[in-house]
Structure formats: structure tokens, C-alpha cells
A and B are shown apart, each in its own frame.
Chain A
Amino acid sequence: QVQLVESGGGVVQPGGSLRLSCAASGFTFSSYGMHWVRQAPGKGLEWVAFIRYDGSNKYYADSVKGRFTISRDNSKNTLYLQMNSLRAEDTAVYYCAKDHRATAFDIWGQGTMVTVSS
């Protein structure tokens, strides 16, 4: 069945870096755009980044632009999020999600927790 599994979360100090991964299965990964969405503890959903199916276009939320980089390896069916210069406000559960017609998110992973704290 269609599945997305995130990994790589953990505790990191402010100013540190972390790389998240999202392993996809059950669909043709190379044919779909992919997103990262996050949710701070007790808060709502916030879109983070999008990458086109072939990696040719990438978009970022203003809150992470210049610090986070989204990428993908279609040969490994894997999506990545490189997070640098992390701040306390980046603390959240990070979800990867499959794109639906470039406007919505139709399949979500279970999420991975990132905590930025000294």
C-alpha cells in the first residue's frame, strides 16, 4: 500500500543542523511532487517546502527560506529535508506528504519529532 515513513528527528541545539528523510513506497515516487509540513506542539499545521517530481522547482515557506533545503533521490524513492541554523521555533513534528495536483496533500507519513533546545 502507499506509505511514507519519516526518520532522522531528534534533539539538537540552537544553531545546529539535522537532516530528515522520508522513504516512499507503494506508488511511483518519481512521478509526484512532495512536501514537508510541520506542526509545533499544540499548534496548527504549517507548510514548510515543496519539490517537483523531477526536482526542478522548489518552494519554501518564508520562515525557513535560506535555512532549509528540500531534495529528493528518485533512484532511492526518498525525500530529504536538510535543516540548518535551527531555532527553538523550529521545534515540531515534521511530516512528509505526497502532492495532489500541485495544490493539496493526499498521503501523509506518521511524522518525526524535531526538538531544538539547549
Chain B
Amino acid sequence: SYVLTQPPSVSVAPGQTARITCGGNNIGSKSVHWYQQKPGQAPVLVVYDDSDRPSGIPERFSGSNSGNTATLTISRVEAGDEADYYCQVWDSSSDHYVFGTGTKVTVL
């Protein structure tokens, strides 16, 4: 089955840039989606199709995808960005939907 690997944690100072990676075999050939989940809340889609943002999501959230790594970038980090972030793809070979292991973003 397809596996997506994320770093367990990322720490960043307010106003700086956080980068969260998502590794998978030839992930560049797939569409990658990113979700933000704050404690006690449901996940929220923040980036879809590698780099598009749903309405209402700040431009500070951006994404890229190439080779074996996809990246979610949060610019000008704010305290309210502290959350768990998950990448996700659809694996066409199995018709399964796969989530990454998740990354906890801490704002210092």
C-alpha cells in the first residue's frame, strides 16, 4: 500500500516560514491535499491539488509537489496556525485514500 511520511513536529517563530514535507514514492505524479486540524476540531482542507486554496484560506498557505516530496508552506506564521497538519493522496492503484502520518506545528 502507498505510504506518506511526514516529520512528527515542526517548530517556528511567529512571522517566520514553516515548511512541512510529505514524502511518498513518485508523489509528484499524484494530486496532494493538505488538512489543518486544531485540538478537538474536525480537519479543514487548506490546500488541494498540490497548490490550490479553498475559498477562505489565507494566501499564507501554499503548496508544491515534485519528485518524491510535497511541501506545505505557511508564510508569516501566526499563533493561530498551531495545529496538526496532514497530507493526503488518492492511490489509483488500490482506489484507497491515504493520509500522511501528520505533523504538529508549534509556534514558539
Contacts and interface: CB of A to CB of B under 8 A. Distances in A.
Interface of A: 35, 37, 44-47, 50, 59, 61-62, 95, 100-106, 108-111
Nearest to B30: A103
A100 B100 CA distance: 18
Contacts of A102: 90
Contacts, number: 60
A105 to B, nearest CB: 7
Interface residues of B, number: 24
A111 B54 CA distance: 21
Interface residues of chain B: helix, strand, loop or mixed (majority): strand
Interface string B52-66: 001000000000000
Contacts of A62: 1, 96
Contacts of B100: 44
Contacts of A109: 42
Given A44-B86, A106-B54, A50 B97 contact: yes
A104 B45 contact: yes
A75 to B, nearest CB: 26
A56 B48 CA distance: 26
- What secondary structure prevails in chain A residues at the interface with B? strand
B42 A47 contact: no
A71 to B, nearest CB: 18
Nearest to B88: A104
B97 A108 contact: no
B31 A103 contact: yes
Given A103-B89, A104-B48, 18 more contacts: A44-B99, A44-B100, A45-B43, A45-B99, A45-B102, A47-B97, A47-B99, A50-B97, A62-B1, A100-B48, A103-B33, A104-B45, A104-B88, A105-B43, A105-B88, A106-B45, A108-B43, A110-B42
A74 B103 CA distance: 36
A22 B67 CA distance: 38
